[in-house]
Structures are given as C-alpha cells and as structure tokens.
Homo-oligomer: A and B are copies of this chain.
C-alpha cells in the first residue's frame, strides 16, 4: 500500500462476495468455504473473488456463482446486496467488497469448488452465530434480513424451489426463512391469487395423501399483493449516522 503515493484518495482492490442461500431439509442454509490462505487461514468465509478488469460487478458475481455452484441459469436470482468498505475490514489493505445475494434451489451436496477450497452448506441459524472471516458475519446477517423481506414483496421464494413444485413446497420455503408457521389454507389463497406468481403445470405429484397440483414459476418478479408477515416489517440496511460518525 505504499505505491501510487501521488494520490490522496483510496486506490482499492475490489472484490465480490456471495451469500448463496438455499433451503434444504426445511432449513435455510448458506454456502461457506474454508479459507485456504492467510489471512483468516482455515476459517469459514463467504465465497468470493476479485473483480477483473473489464468486467462489471454483476458479471463478476455471475462468474463467481457459476464457479462455486455450477449454477448458470438464465432464471438466476442474483442481486447486489450492498458495498462494504471499512478500511480495516481486510488486514492486507484497502479492499472494498460488493456483496451479492443469490437464491438457489436445492443443489447436490458436494459443491464443486474450482478453487479446490472446501465448500459446504451450513445452517444459517448456526452460521450467523459462528465466527467468520473478515466482516462476513455482518454481511451474512444483512443478506438474511434482505432475503426475509424479499419474500414479502417479490416472488423470490420460488427461486428456492426446484421445478415443478407444490404449494406446500413453496410454503415450507417461507416457513424456513421466516421461521414462522403459516396457515396452509390462507397461504394457498394468497399465492394463487397473486398475479403470475406461480403457474399450474396441470400435473400432480403423488405422495401418500391426496395428490398435489404442480406449479412452475410465473413471470412476475414483484408480488402483488405482497405477502406480509404478521409481525412488523424489516427494511434493508439503514445506515445510521451513529455507526459511522459519532462526531458530536
């Protein structure tokens, strides 16, 4: 960090980190890797990597997601979460990270990490309490909060369901992420009335009881009317001036 001393301003490395969420076994899970080098050697961390020259942030995120999960779907649910730029967040120097949130349907257990790093799914319930490298714990918390509120106003939940899926599958996604029980009857009424949330395929899935109608994801991205949680509403990351400038 001693080079380029002619500039007064920050010349920083730019990284994208990914919070890749899925629902497996009725629980929200996040993909974590184990760091193979310093700093934070051996610690769990979010997958991510440097943004290349001549690459947009979104392109870098899509590339990293494909490398980590093999997912390269056109129906990809991937969106920028926010930037994290505390100069102390990386001991090596000034590294800005742009965090992305990806929602994936259940994927096979052994994730092919091209980086030869150990990758595994971890229950979010555990991961938010565990120590993670860098400021990844804060990023993960923000991402989960974003995902929770996304379920209210967008059709994002369907991204967690491998197609075709049943209304019960979809409800269990909501229950896993909100950690709330939902009334099956009222849930069905709301998702089937919402415009273009889900489309019936015409097929049914046989299990043990009455066969369940199968659906695929509809064209809508925004959910109207929204599917609100009974309790109060969470909003994506507010920057309070108190955290950064306790000046007075």
A residues lining the B interface (CB < 8 Å): 3-4, 7-14, 50-59, 61-62, 72-76, 78-80, 82-87, 94, 96, 98, 100, 150, 153-154, 195, 221-226, 232-235, 237-239, 241-245, 247-248
Tell me the smallest distance from the CB of A229 to a CB of chain B, in Å: 11
CB-defined contacts of A58 to chain B, threshold 8 Å? 239, 241, 243-245
Complex Cα distance, B14 from A7, in Å, reads 12
Least CB separation from A81: chain B residue: B82
Known: A13-B11, A58-B244, A79-B239. A53 touches B233 (CB 8 A): no
Least CB separation from A101: chain B residue: B239
Contact of A62 among B12, B221, B241 (CB under 8 A): B241
**A interface majority secondary structure:** loop
Leading 6 A-B pairs by shortest Cβ distance: A9-B50, A58-B244, A225-B233, A224-B233, A57-B85, A83-B83
Contact of A221 among B7, B61, B225, B238 (CB under 8 A): B238
Complex Cα distance, B129 from A40, in Å, reads 48
Complex Cα distance, B245 from A75, in Å, reads 11
CB-defined contacts of A84 to chain B, threshold 8 Å? 57
11 of the cross-chain contacts (CB-CB < 8 Å) are A7-B13, A8-B53, A10-B51, A10-B52, A51-B85, A57-B96, A58-B239, A75-B241, A78-B239, A153-B233, A223-B233
